[in-house]
């Protein structure tokens, strides 16, 4: 595989440079004095930002964009072999790396690369750890999967030997990474359009753990079933974390009126400080303990970590309060898996409000079909449920299901549930039926956030 070395900058071309992830990696290379070019469908704030940093960007993807001076071409999973630039690079024999392969190559240029993996909570935990590192003065380079206000986006260009990133399991892209500290938050059935089953997913996470070198550390959730499967025989150090159990765990959890938790961190049986969160839910206590375990490995003082955690107020689309309209509070959340839905709705139960409305947009037909009963059970934690059409994402509708199928499952549990095929119908229904003091949570990984934003415009 082509090797990216910071002490040997070359000309790197990005197909689709304006994407949220690709743009961040391009910025990292620009900081390291690489020559960066790229193409995208149209101009955007991200392409303008990269141009300001020195990137050469063209609009429209053509074979002529692949010039003889390019040393390596970067592409995403969305780029197929019939793409004119992809085909031209292959014809010219120019080395090519996927986005995940490039991320793995970048990590190799840092003494302490840290990767956060797991079915849920990656973005939040990476963001929490970002706050801990910054509070501890580590000045890390960071790539996070959501927009984090404290770093002004999803990328931070640091000047230390610490690199922090999310590690996504979809298509096994996290197996391209080379972490010295690897965090595994949880492992559940998901992305079943790629993985065969839960055993297949568990096998991939075992391979991820095996990538950590002998002088590195695996931080892994103590609640993961058959934990020894992932830890036995590893050459690296293994540290567990959790709620009530683990080398690092939380005890004496209390909640404020807004559902924000405070807890005592216990390290190897000894109390290690009291911590206060500014985000709701027990699931975020677990995320925080994982981040604190990593911060402790990095020798960040406890008082600095406490300050960093307290300052963290969440990332976009993670129980994000959008505003109020007619006395109704609008919150948006990215939850699109039953476990995430349960966590969000349990957190909502501690939030001031009389009735919890969950406006859910299922994400992909394969996930909805394979986890249908789990979705119905999880969504039933809300007082009232409104369903939008399934967000297809990368799939086509060939599985014979719809959101109305899910509505029937939830209704069978005796819950108040409605399905509307358009956002406009959902918005009209909510305005007619919600009362002052109610909490409306728009939920899903698609574009359901528009419902809450449109409701606020009506105010």
CB of 314 within 8 A of CB of 334?
Answer: no
CA-CA-CA-CA torsion for 142, 145, 147, 152, nearest 10 degrees? 20
3-state helix, strand, coil in the chain (%, to 5): 35, 25, 40
**Cβ(306)–Cβ(276) below 8 Å:** yes
The beta strands (E) that lie in 268-405 are given as 270-280, 320-325, 328-333, 356-360, 384-387
Pairwise CA distance, residues 441 & 360, whole Å: 8
DSSP conformation class of 158: -
Q: Are 243 and 282 in contact, with CB atoms under 8 Å apart?
A: yes
384 given a catalytic annotation: no
Instruction: Name the active-site residue from 119, 123, 315, 364.
Output: 123
β-pairing verdict for 320-325 and 416-419: unpaired
395 is catalytic: no
Does the annotation mark 231 as catalytic? no
Output the 3-class SS for 227-283: CHHHHCCCCCEEEEEEECCCCEEEEEEEECCCCEEEEEEEECCEEEEEEEEEEECHH
Select from 215, 160, 221 the least CA-distant residue to 186: 221
Write down the catalytic residue from 85, 101, 166, 282.
Answer: 166
The Cα-based distances of 165 to 21, 107, 141, 151 in angstroms read: 11, 9, 9, 14
| Residues 373, 374, 379, 381, Cα dihedral to 10° | 110
- Longest pairwise C-alpha distance within the chain: 66
Task: Please report, in angstroms and rounded to a whole number, the separation of the first and last CA atoms in the chain.
Answer: 55
Who's near 163: CB < 8 A, 6+ residues apart? 106, 107, 109, 110, 112, 113, 114, 140, 141, 142
Among 122, 304, 384, 409, which one carries the catalytic annotation?
122
Give me the active site residues, please.
Answer: 122-123, 166
């Amino acid at each position: 595989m082509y090797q990216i070395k910071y002490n040997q900058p070359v000309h790197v071309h990005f197909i689709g440079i304006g994407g949220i992830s690709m743009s961040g990696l391009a910025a990292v290379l620009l900081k390291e004095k690489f020559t960066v070019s790229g193409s995208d469908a149209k101009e955007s704030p991200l392409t303008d930002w990269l141009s300001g940093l020195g990137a050469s960007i063209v609009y429209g993807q053509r074979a002529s964009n692949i010039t003889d001076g390019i040393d390596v071409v970067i592409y995403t999973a969305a780029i197929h072999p019939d793409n004119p630039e992809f085909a031209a690079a292959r014809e010219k024999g120019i080395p090519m790396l996927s986005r995940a392969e490039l991320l793995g190559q970048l990590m190799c240029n840092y003494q302490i690369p840290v990767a956060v993996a797991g079915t849920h909570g990656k973005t939040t935990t990476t963001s929490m750890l970002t706050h801990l590192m910054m509070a501890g003065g580590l000045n890390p380079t960071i790539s996070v999967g959501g927009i984090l206000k404290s770093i002004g986006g999803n990328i931070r260009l640091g000047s230390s030997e610490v690199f922090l990133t999310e590690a996504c399991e979809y298509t096994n892209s996290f197996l391209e990474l080379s972490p010295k500290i690897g965090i595994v938050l949880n492992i559940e059935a998901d992305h079943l359009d790629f993985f065969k089953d839960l055993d297949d997913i568990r096998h991939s996470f075992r391979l991820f753990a095996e990538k950590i070198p002998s002088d590195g550390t695996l931080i892994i959730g103590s609640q993961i079933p058959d934990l020894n499967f992932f830890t036995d025989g590893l050459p690296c150090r293994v540290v567990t974390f959790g709620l009530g159990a683990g080398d690092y765990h939380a005890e004496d959890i209390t909640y404020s009126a807004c559902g924000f938790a405070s807890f005592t961190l216990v390290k190897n049986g000894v109390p290690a400080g009291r911590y206060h969160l500014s985000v709701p839910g027990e699931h975020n206590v677990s995320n925080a303990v994982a981040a604190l375990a990593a911060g402790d490995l990095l020798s960040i003082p406890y008082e600095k970590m406490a300050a960093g955690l307290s300052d963290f107020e969440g990332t976009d689309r993670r129980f994000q309060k959008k505003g109020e309209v007619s006395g109704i509070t609008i919150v948006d959340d990215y939850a699109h898996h039953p476990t995430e839905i349960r966590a969000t709705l349990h957190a909502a139960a501690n939030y001031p409000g009389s009735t919890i409305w969950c406006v859910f947009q299922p994400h992909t037909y394969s996930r909805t079909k394979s986890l249908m009963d789990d979705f119905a059970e999880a969504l039933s934690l809300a007082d009232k449920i409104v369903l939008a059409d399934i967000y297809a994402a990368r799939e086509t509708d060939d599985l014979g299901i719809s959101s109305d199928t899910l509505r029937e499952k939830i209704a069978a549990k005796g819950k108040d549930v409605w399905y509307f095929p358009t956002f406009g119908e959902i918005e009209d229904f909510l305005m007619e039926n919600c009362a002052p003091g109610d909490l409306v949570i728009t939920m899903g990984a698609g574009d359901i956030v528009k419902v809450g934003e449109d409701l606020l415009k009506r105010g």
